[in-house]
Each structure stands twice: as C-alpha cells, then as structure tokens.
C-alpha cells in the first residue's frame, strides 16, 4: 500500500508540476548559483518585463558567450548553457512563471 501511494504521489507531482519546475528548477537546483541570481542580473540590465523576457528568450534559444549576462569566470567554470529544447509556448510559460516568482515590482514596501 505504501508503494502504491508513493508511486501515485510521484506521478501526481510530475503530472501537475509546471514547465518551469520540470525544466528550469530541476537543473538549476544542482548549480552553486541559485536561479534568482540570473533573474536579478537580467533585471538590472534590461529593467522591464518585456525586455527581460525577450533577452532570456533570445539567450535560451541561442546561447553564446557573447550574449550571456554571466561573468566570464562563471562561463569559464561552467560553460555556456545548452540551447533550450522547449517549444516557444513552453518557454514563454516557464518565463512567465519565473517572472512571477522573482519580480520585484509590486512587492516592495
């Protein structure tokens, strides 16, 4: 009975987890730099929601040393991210979730 509940829990969690959790957090949780640090670097450079999402979309579709916002020491140690395998719709959904999770607009008092 415990095995059945365990398996059902795993299936339920996987089936209802969003694209951001399944495709972004899963890998970024293994890196020494937390995923929010990337967000704040993009936010400092691009400021608006539209520009941040566009820059992230462009980078994730075609990552390179020239377009990364990470410092050279980081790229030298970890390399450039692989090109995303997400569809445009999945990528947009993941970025929307990411934005909602870490945006500072409306959260400052």
pLDDT digits over 23-57, tens only?
A: 899 888 888 889 999 999 999 999 999 999 999 99
Q: How far is CA 16 from the centre of its chain?
A: 18
Q: Could you tell me the residue range of the domain that residue 27 belongs to? A: 15-102
Asked if residue 2 belongs to a domain, the reply is no
Asked if residue 1 belongs to a domain, the reply is no
Whether the Cβ atoms of residue 36 and residue 28 lie closer than 8 Å to each other: no
- C-alpha to C-alpha distances, 69 to 17, 38, 57, 99, nearest whole angstrom: 28, 8, 13, 17
Asked if residue 60 belongs to a domain, the reply is yes
pLDDT of residue 16: 53
CA dist 107 and 84 (Å) reads 30
Asked if residue 10 belongs to a domain, the reply is no
Into how many domains does the chain fold? 1
- What are the residue ranges of helices labelled H in the chain? 2-16, 19-20, 26-28, 35-46, 49-61, 72-78, 88-102
Share of the chain above pLDDT 90, in %: 62
pLDDT > 90? residue 8: no
Asked if residue 4 belongs to a domain, the reply is no
């Amino acid at each position: 009975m415990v095995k059945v509940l365990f398996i059902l829990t795993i299936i339920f969690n996987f089936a209802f987890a969003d694209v951001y959790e399944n495709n972004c957090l899963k890998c970024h949780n293994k890196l020494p730099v937390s995923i929010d640090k990337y967000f704040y670097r993009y936010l400092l450079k691009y400021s608006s929601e539209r520009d941040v999402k566009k820059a992230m979309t462009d980078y994730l579709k075609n990552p390179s040393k020239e377009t990364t916002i990470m410092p050279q020491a980081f790229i030298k140690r970890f390399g450039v991210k692989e090109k995303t395998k997400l569809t445009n719709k999945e990528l947009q959904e993941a970025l929307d979730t990411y934005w909602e999770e870490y945006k500072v607009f409306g959260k400052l008092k």
